[in-house]
Amino acid sequence: MEEFITLALIRKTQGRHGEVAVDLYSDVPERLQVGMKLWALRDPSQRRELMIEGLWQHKNQPILKFAGIDSISDAETLLGCELQVPRSQRAKLEPGWYYVSDLVGCVVFDGPRTIGAVKAVRFGAGEAPLLVVEAKAGEYEIPYAEEYLGSLDLERKEIRMFLPEGMLEVNAPLTPEEKSEQKKRSQ
């Protein structure tokens, strides 16, 4: 079974003829083209093939019109869907560039210390995306910022970072005692 990657997320309907506004997950806006085939993913068992019939910008957000999606009702069935392409159709990158999706599964190190594996990457919390790292102690959110990055080896699935003193402790999961104290305060 072929692996897919997400290029965009359908956020809302836009217009009366089936148009949708999307959040683009690519730094290459021209990646989406009229005539391009995409697959709309609602959940892992439901992927639907679509073709871009029209594409334009509205208030700095891409608006897509798909062939066969001709009404607001049709467009509403796509809300929340990820728009994907097969991994084999990813755009070729310049040397030194990589896909954020390639970071998932990498093991994160802080100097010589192993923190855990990246289970997701979150955007929107600041300038740097956050690596969601699953560790024995719980889950950490670590800014994937250039000033903390030592090296990235995608073949070995390793991210070597040099984090500021105390960053992991500030972001550490709550201990059972802290959870109990937090619960008492909220009552």
Q: Is residue 130 within 8 Å of 145, Cβ to Cβ?
A: no
Distance separating alpha carbons of residues 138 and 135, to the nearest angstrom: 5
Q: Is the pLDDT of residue 114 over 90?
A: yes
Strand partners, 149: 161
The reply to whether 80 and 149 lie within a common domain is no
Q: Which of 82-86, 95-99, 178-182 has the highest mean pLDDT?
A: 82-86
Beta strands in 18-93 (DSSP E): 20-24, 37-43, 46-58, 61-66, 82-86
pLDDT at 73 over 80: yes
Range of the domain at 118: 100-165
Place of tokens 């999307």: 22
Q: For 165-181, what is each residue's pLDDT tens digit? A: 888 876 655 667 766 77
7 vs 66: which has the higher pLDDT: 66
Looking at per-residue pLDDT, the higher value among 113 and 173 belongs to 113
Examine residue 50 and state whether it is found in any structural domain, yes or no.
yes
Please check whether residue 178 lies inside any domain of the structure. no
Chain centre to alpha carbon of residue 143 = 14
105 and 80 share a domain? no
46 and 118 in one domain?
no
**Do 30 and 74 share a domain, yes or no?**
yes
Q: What is the pLDDT of residues 25-60, one digit of tens each?
A: 776 667 889 999 999 998 777 899 999 999 999 988
> What's the chain's average pLDDT?
86
- pLDDT for the residue 29: 65
For residue 185, pLDDT beyond 80: no
Give the integer Cα–Cα distance in Å for 75 and 101.
Answer: 27
The answer to whether residue 151 sits within a structural domain is yes
pLDDT for position 172: 59
Domain identity same for 84 and 107: no
Q: What is the pLDDT of residue 125?
A: 63
Same domain for 57 and 36: yes
Prediction pTM value: 0.59
Report pLDDT for 88.
84
The rounded distance, in Å, linking the Cα atoms of 182 and 176 is 10
Note whether residue 187 is domain-resident. no
Same domain, 83 and 15: yes
**99 backbone dihedrals φ, ψ, rounded to 5°:** -90, 140
